[in-house]
Amino acid sequence: MARIIVVTSGKGGVGKTTSSAAIATGLAQRGKKTVVIDFDIGLRNLDLIMGCERRVVYDFVNVIQGDATLNQALIKDKRTDNLYILPASQTRDKDALTKEGVAKVLEDLNEMGYDFVVCDSPAGIESGALMALYFADEAIITTNPEVSSVRDSDRILGILASKSRRAENGEDPIREHLLVTRYNPGRVTRGDMLSVEDVVEILRIPLVGVIPESPSVLRASNQGEPVILDTESDAGVAYSDTIDRLLGEEKPFRFLTEEKKGLLKRLFGG
Ligand SMILES: Nc1ncnc2c1ncn2[C@@H]1O[C@H](COP(=O)(O)OP(=O)(O)O)[C@@H](O)[C@H]1O
Ligand SMILES: [Mg+2]
């Protein structure tokens, strides 16, 4: 069975799409047949971050409305084997996704032998976000270390536990993973940001990764290349550790403390 993972948060701009792209790529790199689906109808960010925006002909809504087959709409990633993207449409109709339609797509992906389906959720707690999480087996709760983001994540935890298919059917609950993104240890030390411990203490779900705030993320997204492919970058390495943990490995957390700059770095920057 395909593992259906929703990347969600409630709040916008916290790093869901960045994380969806990185996580899907990392799973595929480890030999897992993976598809990443953009549920953010109308925005279409994922295909930009994956660098496949010019190849989009058909999209998720076309498939659901029967204007294209799933096979026609899936875009094979140009860099990473085993990786496919199902782009969102630019339609303004946010209700273009139906539960029946999404269920059918997920069943078909399962039959096509996918190991992982990564669902990039839109912000908010309205229909698009609900649709992205409804069928999930697991959720990656993407949270920035600040009070408003943690609050919205707490809200999403309530929704996962009450409005998902698993909740409706009385099945095992969605497995929750906390992903702290845009972490800046210096700002934590100065008291401008919550620490990872604070966030875990409030949300009380298992931590799967801590991604540092890093200029490499913007650089990667400008190049249309998931940051996990940048093996020199702290954020890329942190995403890679996150994948290993998702696949059951124990890994120590890195980048939790401020890097002490040596004399040369202090003098010359870097
Ligand atoms: N670890 C990070 N370091 C620096 N910038 C980041 C990081 N993660 C995300 N960003 C930036 O934050 C913005 C929002 O990210 P995005 O993934 O689109 O969030 P969402 O999908 O939750 O709205 C983007 O400009 C992205 O480049
Ligand atoms: Mg997004």
Rounded Cα distance between 247 and 133, Å, is 20
Tokens 């076309």 belong to residue: 62
Q: How far away, in angstroms, is 263 Cα from ligand 2 center? A: 39
Length of the chain: 270
Confidence class for position 217, pLDDT limits 50, 70, 90? very high
pLDDT confidence tier of residue 265, bands split at 50, 70 and 90: low
Nearest CA to ligand 1 atom 11: 15
For residue 42, what pLDDT is reported? 84
Is any ligand 1 atom within 6 A of the Cβ of residue 230?
A: no
| Residue 137 to residue 4: CA distance in whole angstroms | 5
Specify the pLDDT at position 115: 98
Question: What is the rounded CA–CA span in Å between residue 130 and residue 150?
Answer: 18
CA distances from 240 to 24, 54, 86, 97, 208 (A): 11, 27, 22, 32, 11
Is 69 assigned a ligand-binding role in the annotation? no
Backbone phi, psi, residue 119, to 5°: -105, 115
Of all ligands present, the nearest one to the C-alpha of 211 is 1
Spatial CB neighbours of 169, under 8 Å, sequence gap ≥ 6: none
Give bridge partners of residue 86 from the DSSP assignment. 37
Kindly state if the Cβ of 235 falls inside 6 Å of ligand 1. Answer: yes
Q: Is 211 in the pocket of ligand 1 (CB under 6 A)?
A: yes
User: 171 versus 96: which is more confidently predicted?
Assistant: 171
Nearest to 211 by CA among 249, 253, 182, 243: 182
Region of 179 on the Ramachandran plot (φ > 0 left; ψ -120 to 50 alpha; else beta)? beta
Ligand 2 mean position to 90 CA, how many Å? 14
Q: Please give the radius of gyration of the chain, using alpha carbons only, rounded to the nearest integer.
A: 18
C-alpha dist (Å) from residue 52 to 20, 49, 80, 90, 91:
15, 8, 12, 15, 18
Per-residue pLDDT reduced to its tens digit, 234-262: 999 999 999 999 999 999 999 999 876 66
| Helix, strand, coil content of the chain in percent (nearest 5) | 45, 15, 40
Residue 269: its pLDDT value, please? 60
Q: What backbone torsions phi and psi does residue 5 show, to the nearest 5 degrees?
A: -115, 125
Show Cβ contacts of residue 35 under 8 Å, excluding neighbours closer than 6 positions: 24, 74, 83, 84, 85, 86, 109, 114, 116, 117, 118
88 lines ligand 1 (CB under 6 A): no
9, 38, 217, 242: residue to mutate for ligand 1 pocket, most atoms within 8 A of CB: 217
Read off the pTM: 0.95
Q: What is the pLDDT of residues 162-214, one digit of tens each?
A: 999 999 999 999 999 999 999 999 999 999 999 999 999 999 999 999 999 99
- Residue 221 CB less than 6 A away from ligand 1: yes
Q: How many helices (H) and strands (E) in the chain?
A: 13, 8
Residues surrounding ion ligand 2 at CB below 5 Å = 16-17, 45
Tokens standing for residue 174: 């969605």
Segment 115-139, tens digit of pLDDT: 999 999 999 988 999 999 999 999 9
Cβ-count burial of 269 within 10 angstroms (0-12 exposed, 13-18 middle, 19+ buried)? exposed
Provide CB contacts within 8 A for 175, sequence distance 6+: 137, 138, 139
Mutate to test the pocket of ligand 1, among 7, 18, 218 (most ligand atoms within 8 A of CB): 18
